[in-house]
Copies of this chain bind each other. A is one copy, B any other.
Amino acid sequence: MLTDRQLLIFQVIVDDFIQSAQPVGSRSLSKKDEISFSSATIRNEMADLEELGFIEKTHTSSGRIPSEKGYRYYVDHLLSPQRLGKEDVYRVKSIFADRIYELEKIVQKSAKILSEMTNYTSIVLGPDLGENKLKKIQIVPLNEQTAIAIIVTDTGHVENRMFQLPENIDAGELEKLVNILNERLSGVPMDQLHNKIYKEVAVLLRQHISHYDYMLHSITETIKAPAGEKLFFGGKMNMLSQPEFHDIDKVRNLMNMIEQEKGFYDLIRHHHSGIQVKIGRENNNEAIDNCSLITASYSVGKERLGTIAILGPTRMEYSRVISLLHYFSKDLSAVLTNLYQNENRG
């Protein structure tokens, strides 16, 4: 449908615009090494490309910029899978170099490094804690009125919460409570705990524990906290350096969206396998109308854990970001699989 020459011209336009953020004119194109024909010819071809909807003008006599349809075509057909630079590879490796074993810290550091490498904003969706299984519950009394309940999951996630003790409870009883809980609940997925407690454990507790109702309430309150996934951002402010965000109102819109988190959560969680590119209004969200979102997922073994995403202007470096994300998600998955797969079966 497009001639080779049109393809060439189109590609050069996109590459140039990604780099310069300025509309590309026929004259400046004709000077490029890749291009051997005159500006007049280019103008003709550009007129065709515009008619086909791949490029557009910002005003009647301006150079051309890629349209959203253009970016889509560029991403789908024109992107040669680029090899990641040595430095980039090194940088990614560095995340896993020093001994971090906590999933949450790895995820957080990933977000930070990704944003630094790209100068865009990174968003990492952490794993769903609801699927984690309970490893251990512990209660540490601080004094006569207060105690800390601590729960540890099989992936090493720790959640804690302070609560008030009923009056005159003795240490032995507290220990008994904890023992019962651990005995009955160990290995149960977090999101089923609440149910299981009320269906099976409550009866047991009523028999053995005084203040049964009060304690039960405190424990379940502690447990229900860590449901769902958590979002981590990196380089929230990087967008400020992008010329498309010189307008304060756009910045405010974007920042509002970031602060509310919910919007991104919806955008990111539905993720098919492989790398996904959503361009501009494809995201269906006004606040990021002139942004693109590139997502990939990471996993332990075959089980998908979460999503990594890079948010940049539609004029973003698709090639680089895609290969980076591709490499990154593979590497992260490998490390995590190595780290956690044994554990879950250990």
Q: Which residues of A contact B (CB under 8 A)?
A: 99, 101-102, 135-136, 138, 140, 142-146, 148, 150, 152, 154-156, 158, 160-164, 237, 240-241, 245-246, 248, 251-252, 255-256, 259, 342-343, 346
Q: Tell me the bound Cα distance from A333 to B242 in angstroms.
A: 44
Contact in complex: A146, B101 (CB < 8 Å) = yes
Across the interface, which residues of B come within 8 angstroms of A101, CB to CB? 146, 162-164
Among A146, A155, A162, A256, chain B packs the most CB atoms within 10 A around the CB of A162
A-B contact pairs, 24 of them (CB 8 A): A99-B164, A101-B146, A101-B162, A101-B164, A135-B140, A140-B152, A142-B152, A142-B154, A142-B155, A142-B156, A142-B343, A145-B346, A148-B152, A148-B156, A150-B150, A150-B152, A150-B158, A158-B160, A237-B256, A237-B259, A240-B248, A240-B251, A246-B248, A251-B251
Q: Tell me the bound Cα distance from A152 to B158 in angstroms.
A: 12
Across the interface, which residues of B come within 8 angstroms of A145, CB to CB? 342-343, 346
Q: Tell me the bound Cα distance from A98 to B248 in angstroms.
A: 37
Chain B residue nearest in CB terms to A259: B237
Across the interface, which residues of B come within 8 angstroms of A342, CB to CB? 143, 145
Across the interface, which residues of B come within 8 angstroms of A255, CB to CB? 237, 240
Given contacts A101-B163, A241-B252, contact A346 B152 (CB under 8 A): no
